[in-house]
Amino acid sequence: MERNENSTFRSMHRIFEILEVLSKHPNGLTMMKIMDELDKAPKSSVYTLLQQMLKKRYVTYLENEKKYKIGPALIKLGAVIMSDHTIQTLARTSMEKLSKLTGEDIYLGVLEGGRMLIIDKVEGGQSLRLNLSVGTYLSIHSNAIGRIILAYRNPSEQKEIIQQTGLPAMTKNTVTDYDTFLRELERIRQEELAIDYEESVEGVMGIAAPVKNHLGEVVAGICISAPVSRVTPKKDVLIELVKNISAEISAQLGFENKYNQSF
């Protein structure tokens, strides 16, 4: 009985290995190439599993090229998973946890058309009641989420967005000098942390960390928003918390991060 269970587990493990290999090669691979990628796995075993996946349409066989590639059933499954597991859905529990731990408002945002778009929000027990609802667009340069996302774009894209939107003063503390702003983006990228000191709303600080997908791309930012008076005495704690939560969300998107830990 134990031998059969071990054999079943090995087969399941091998199936996932094959699918992972094929996912990296959208144009398909021959069986020999698949075996090479699997470190010379037994030919009979790989062939048998491929035939089983063909029947279920998880892989497709290209007769002329003698190649296997990801099939329509798996593509459909992936589409369903993506539609039911958006960033908002995956992040919600973590955002609620961060709000409960800090008592502050938590925002999740993405880059949309050169601006920062709020895609989710959790109000804390000490909420500021700012008029920033889901669907609100903000200037990307003056808030922590916008900066954390922009910092990870390539220099040409950064320049294009800044030229498009400019660096207008939202408060007296907003960074409006181009060179100074670029240096700030470089610092953010190195530290994986963005802080706006009353640059979007006077009296309010934002502390943001990046949310990454399985490729390591920054696809969103998560931010703690709170009055300067409450942030200042516990800033280091808040930084650690937002980094942990951003890593927790990123892990759900398939990214591994040193800050990923439960608490």
Confidence of residue 249 (pLDDT cuts 50, 70, 90): very high
Identify whether 258 is part of a domain.
no
Distance set, CA 212 to CA 46, 199, 217, 231 (Å)? 33, 25, 5, 25
Same domain, 97 and 37: no
Residue 48 has a pLDDT of: 92
Same domain, 157 and 107: yes
Burial letters 229-240, b for 16+ CB under 10 A, else e: ebbeeeeeebbe
Identify whether 261 is part of a domain.
no
Same domain, 29 and 67: yes
Same domain, 103 and 138: yes
The domain spanning residue 59 has which CATH number? Answer: 1.10.10.10
**Total domains in the fold of the chain:** 2
Identify whether 246 is part of a domain.
yes
Name which of 263, 249, 199 is nearest 225 in CA terms: 199
> Which among 81, 102, 127 is the end of a domain?
81
Locate 133 and state its tokens. Answer: 């609802």
Q: Mean pLDDT lowest for which of 56-60, 82-86, 186-190? A: 82-86
What size, in residues, is the chain?
A: 263
> Which among 14, 47, 81 is the end of a domain?
81
Same domain, 58 and 153: no
The domain spanning residue 218 has which CATH number? Answer: 3.30.450.40
DSSP string, 53-87: HHHTTSEEEETTTTEEEE-HHHHHHHHHHHHHS-H
Name which of 84, 109, 83, 14 is nearest 52 in CA terms: 14
Could you give the angle at the alpha carbon of 260 between the alpha carbons of 257 and 263, nearest 5°? Answer: 170
Q: Is the pLDDT of residue 152 over 80?
A: yes
| Virtual torsion, Cα 146, 151, 153, 156, nearest 10 deg | 110
Name which of 103, 16, 82 is nearest 214 in CA terms: 82
Confidence of residue 188 (pLDDT cuts 50, 70, 90): very high
Q: Which amino acid is at 17?
A: E
Same domain, 152 and 175: yes
For residues 142 and 90, what is the distance between their CA atoms, to the nearest angstrom? 27
Distance set, CA 189 to CA 13, 23, 150, 160, 260 (Å)? 37, 29, 9, 18, 18
| Virtual torsion, Cα 85, 136, 141, 238, nearest 10 deg | -60
Residue 42 has a pLDDT of: 82
Instruction: Provide the pairing of β-strand 204-212 with 59-62.
Output: unpaired
Domain of residue 126, residue span: 85-252
Residue 137: in which H helix or E strand, if any?
strand 137-139
Residue 260 has a pLDDT of: 42
Comparing 45 with 187, which gets the higher pLDDT?
187
> Which among 81, 101, 121 is the end of a domain?
81
Residue 3 has a pLDDT of: 52
Same domain, 98 and 225: yes
- Mean pLDDT computed over every residue of the chain: 87
- pTM beyond cutoff 0.75: no
Most confident of 28-37, 116-125, 237-246: 237-246
Same domain, 53 and 97: no
Furthest C-alpha separation in the chain: 73
Q: What is the mean pLDDT of residues 246-262?
A: 74
